Structure 1
Amino acid sequence: MSSNTMIANRWTLGRVTRLALLSFGALLFLSPYVFMLSTAGKAQSEIFTSALSLIPTNFYYIENFTKALARVPMGTLLLNGILVCAMILFFQVLVAIPCAYAMAKLKFRAARLMMVLVMLGLLVPIHATALPLYVGFNSLSLLNSYTALVAPFSISVFAIFMFLQFFRAMPDDLIHAARLDGMSELGIVARVIVPNAWPAVTAFSIFSVVAHWNDLYWPLVVITRQEYATPPLGLMYFRAAEAGDDYGALMAATMIITIPLVAAFLLAQKRFVEGITMTGLKG
């Protein structure tokens, strides 16, 4: 087969169409970040000009980032975001792995009922339970605390469902061998299941961290003190300060908040794709 024929086969109409669609989708999803990066480097007068230019005429990145760091406690916001997301993820994984293992590998009467409850739990949004949760936290004097931010999300039915799919694909012989060696069920979870579940844990971690790092609704309900504010809520404080119309500095603050998520995803991209692929397998 000649080289020209190989090149022609490589660039078929279907392949070119798929590549064009993927490129368009990537451009569509990246456009807000490109606009944010562009606006973060512009002066206020340049942002509101009639001409649309992505490249700033005069670069104001240093000035805008300085304003963003000075007008809100950015370090506190980022630290709160890390603490809240880490605690939520820790409790979600701690609860979800044993539950998913029991439903996937153990036989008991309530297994089908638990599966139904998990599926129903996926249909209940946080907005439906916000009022009773708020009343409960207010009665316990737990508003404006890390407990109020973490407790409602410490059990994730999505995590249970995701790990359940992953554990079903694991061979039963591995579990039987561990039982023959005298391991208890908790020992199997700790020494057999968890070491083999890291792809699924990594994939779920990306979902969990992104969801709760970007969550504005629940912190807006339970937090009124700035020292407990998460990054999205901190942006509202930024707008409420004397810089409500300073969109260059606001975009700079938004960049500071989104960079950790982008970096975390790029570092865990391989494990994330592997985990998503393996959780789709059927045992």
Structure 2
Amino acid sequence: MTTHAGETRSRIMQAGIHIALAAGAVFMLLPFWLMLRTSFTAPDQIFSGNVLTLTHFSLDNYARVFAEVPLLRYYLNGFVVVGTIFLGQVVICVPAAYALSRLRFAGRELGLWIVLAAMMVPYHATAIPIYVLLSQFGLINTHGALILPFIGSAFSVFLLRQFFLSIPQSVFESARLDGASPYRILIHIVFPMARPAIITFGILSFVSHWNDYFWPSFVLRNDFAATVPFGIVRFLDQELGADYGPQMAAATLTVLPLLIGFLIAQRQLIAGIAMSSGQVD
């Protein structure tokens, strides 16, 4: 009887946990469904009927967005910015993380503390000094103003360092015994083995900078280098007002690349996060 009662309590607890998780999932996904539902509903039908169901499917909102917004230019600018930032972070952050994790040199611990301290400072706090510096170099309202402040990432250095610490030390010692230089170890061993971690911080970097509105609104004055969030917000403010259908269509088109990217790389993302929390050797 005791065993049966224990199994019953366990099943009740499991059912309660699943119900709570399902309720949380519905609560988190409901805004996305409302966004999609509004974007595919004709403007005069948005507030009619049940707001949880899609009764009048229409692409009018998307047609208006593509007709009135230079969306392809915003997409191109966005991909150029986030792609260049990612490449710059790979070139800078991977060697820095490798040095802080596996090389022995004076000042290594100080360098690690500087990285940790940099992670605690929000980039909003340094926005004005960086703006002044970019202005002195004539980079305001250019792609360079969106890229240069972010090609060095303290978080990426720390994430990659944790991953490199999970690689057995014997791998690096064997390479040194074979006569490999630090540069050769970095190129032929570290980069291939770090692929999951690089993909992980690449996805995080892509999401962060693709969605960023604060910095573009700080350094851009027109649509020449506008990314998707900045360009669409300008469009919403100037053209749409409270026209919710095109607003939600524009919002859907903003998050679409993020969703596609996550679905493609979700296995590598999970693997990279798991490996970055592995054993420290």
The TM-score with structure 1 as length reference comes to: 0.92
User: Where do residues 73-92 of structure 1 align in structure 2 (5 Å cutoff)?
Assistant: 73-92=70-89
Partner of 1:38: 37
Partner of 2:18: 19
Q: CA deviation at 1:167?
A: 0.4
Q: CA deviation at 1:73?
A: 0.4
Partner of 2:133: 136
Q: Secondary structure at the match of 1:98?
A: helix
Partners of 1:71 and 1:241 within 8 A in 2: no
1:272 to 255, 269, 273: 269
Which amino acid letter does the alignment assign opposite residue 173 of structure 2? H
- Matches of 2:78 and 2:116 in 1, distance apart? 29
Cα deviation, 1:87-145, whole Å, max 9, x if unaligned, reads 11111121111111111111122111111101100011111111011111112111111
Q: Secondary structure at the match of 2:224?
A: helix
Partners of 2:142 and 2:224 within 8 A in 1: no
Cα deviation, 1:208-237, whole Å, max 9, x if unaligned, reads 110100000000000112121111101212
Partner of 2:222: 225
Partners of 2:77 and 2:226 within 8 A in 1: yes
Which amino acid letter does the alignment assign opposite residue 124 of structure 1? V
Partners of 2:82 and 2:210 within 8 A in 1: yes
Give percent identity, aligned residues only.
Answer: 36
Partner of 1:149: 146
Q: Secondary structure at the match of 2:271?
A: helix
Unpaired runs of 5+ residues, structure 1, are none
Runs of 4+ in 1 over 4 A off after TM superposition: none
- Matches of 1:278 and 1:17 in 2, distance apart? 31
Partner of 2:241: 244
Cα deviation, 1:233-276, whole Å, max 9, x if unaligned, reads 01212213332222101111111111110010011111111111
User: Where do residues 28-107 of structure 1 align in structure 2 (5 Å cutoff)?
Assistant: 28-49=27-48, 52-60=50-58, 62-107=59-104
- Matches of 1:188 and 1:171 in 2, distance apart? 14
Q: Secondary structure at the match of 1:256?
A: helix
Matched, 1:184 2:181: yes
Partners of 1:72 and 1:237 within 8 A in 2: no
1:196 to 193, 202, 223: 193
Partners of 2:34 and 2:51 within 8 A in 1: no
- C-alpha change, 1:187 and 1:225, in structure 2 (3 Å) is same
Q: CA RMSD in A?
A: 1.7
Cα deviation, 1:9-57, whole Å, max 9, x if unaligned, reads 9x823432332233223222212210100110223333345x6522244
- Matches of 1:28 and 1:203 in 2, distance apart? 27
Moved more, 91-100 or 211-220: 91-100
- Matches of 2:273 and 2:227 in 1, distance apart? 28
